[in-house]
Amino acid sequence: MRGAFTTLVFLLPVLVLFGVFRFVPMIGVLGLSLTDYRLGGDWRFTGTANYAELLRDEVFLDSLTTTLAYVALCVPLTVVVALGTALLLDAVRWGRGLFRTALLTPYVTSLVLAGVVWQWLFGPLLNSPAFVLPALAVVGVWKGFGYATVILLAGVRRVPAGCLDAARVDGASAWQRFRHVRLPLLRPVLLFVVVVETIGAFQVFDTIYVMTAGGPVRASYTLAYAIYDYGFKDLTFGRASAAGVVLWAVVLLVSLVQRRVLERKP
C-alpha cells in the first residue's frame, strides 16, 4: 500500500500536466465543435450542425480523401524502408552508433527548413496534381524513417539468436528466416511503429504549408490544412474544432484496424 502511494506521488505531476495540457483541451475542442464560435464574436450552441456542414462540404470531403491517400503512400513506404535499414544495421559490426545518429538527423531537422530544400529539389513535380502527393510522401519518409529504424533495430536485436540458428540448421533460407522467425517476433514493435507513423502522417501540415500550400488545385489539401484554414483564415473555430474531432476519430479508427490486423495470428 505504501509503495502504491509513493508511486502515485511521483506520477501526480505528470498526471496533472497530462490533464491540463491534453485532457482539458480535448474537452474544450469537443465543446467548441458544438457551437458557432468565431474569434471576437458571439457564439451559440448549434449541436451537430458543424458536423452536418462538414459532411456537405466538398472541400472537406476532398481533404479527407487526400489525407487517406497520403497516409496510404507514406506509412507503408516508411515502414518498409525503416525495416530494411534496421536489418542492414543489424548486420553492421562497426560504426553502428554513428549510423544511428546520421539516421536521426532528418527526424530532428526543422520541417520548415527541410521543406524549403525539398521544394527546390522537386521543383516542377509540385505543380503536377498527379505527382505532388508522391513527392510529399517521399519527404515524409525521409523525415520519419530514421526514428522508425531505431525502434525496429531494437526489436530486431531482441530476436533470440538461437531461433535463427535453429532455422538455419533446418535449412531455412534468409527469406524464410525473416518471414517465419523474425517477422512474427517483430509484430509488437511493428504495431507501435505503424501506429505512430500513421498518426504523424494524418497530422502532416508543415511540409505542405511550406512546399505547396495545399495546391495545385487542392491536390495536397489535407485535413490538417483544412483545419488551419477554418480556424485561422475563416475564423470559424466551431467548424475547425469539428474538423479536428473528425480527424481524431479517423485516426482512432484506422489505428484500431491496424492493431486488429497486426495482432492477428497468421
How is 220-256 classified by DSSP, letter by letter? T--HHHHHHIIIIIS-BHHHHHHHHHHHHHHHHHHHH
Q: Classify each residue of 50-88 as buried b or exposed e, where b means 16 or more C-beta atoms within 10 Å of its C-beta.
A: bbeebeeeeebeebbebbbbbbebbbebbbebbbebbbe
**pLDDT score of 261 more than 70:** yes
**In the chain, pLDDT over 70 holds for what percent of residues?**
97
For 48, phi then psi, to 5°, come to -95, 20
List the one residue out of 250, 226, 248, 251 whose CA is nearest residue 236.
Answer: 226
Looking at CATH, the fold of the domain delimited by 67-263 is given as MetI-like fold (1.10.3720)
Cis peptide bond prior to 129, omega within 30° of 0: no
**pLDDT score of 188 more than 80:** yes
User: What are the cell numbers at 52?
Assistant: 452536418
C-alpha distances in angstroms, 221 versus 15, 172, 228?
36, 47, 11
pLDDT at residue number 266: 56
CA-CA distance, 2 to 96, in Å (whole number)?
44
CA-CA distance, 199 to 88, in Å (whole number)?
26
User: What are the cell numbers at 140?
Assistant: 515524409
pLDDT at residue number 15: 82
Higher pLDDT, 38 or 196: 196
For 21-36, what is the mean pLDDT?
Answer: 87
Hey, where are the domains in the chain? 67-263
pLDDT at residue number 265: 61
CA-CA distance, 32 to 232, in Å (whole number)?
15
pLDDT tens per residue, range 53-62: 999 999 999 9
Task: Work out the mean pLDDT of the chain and round it to a whole number.
Answer: 87
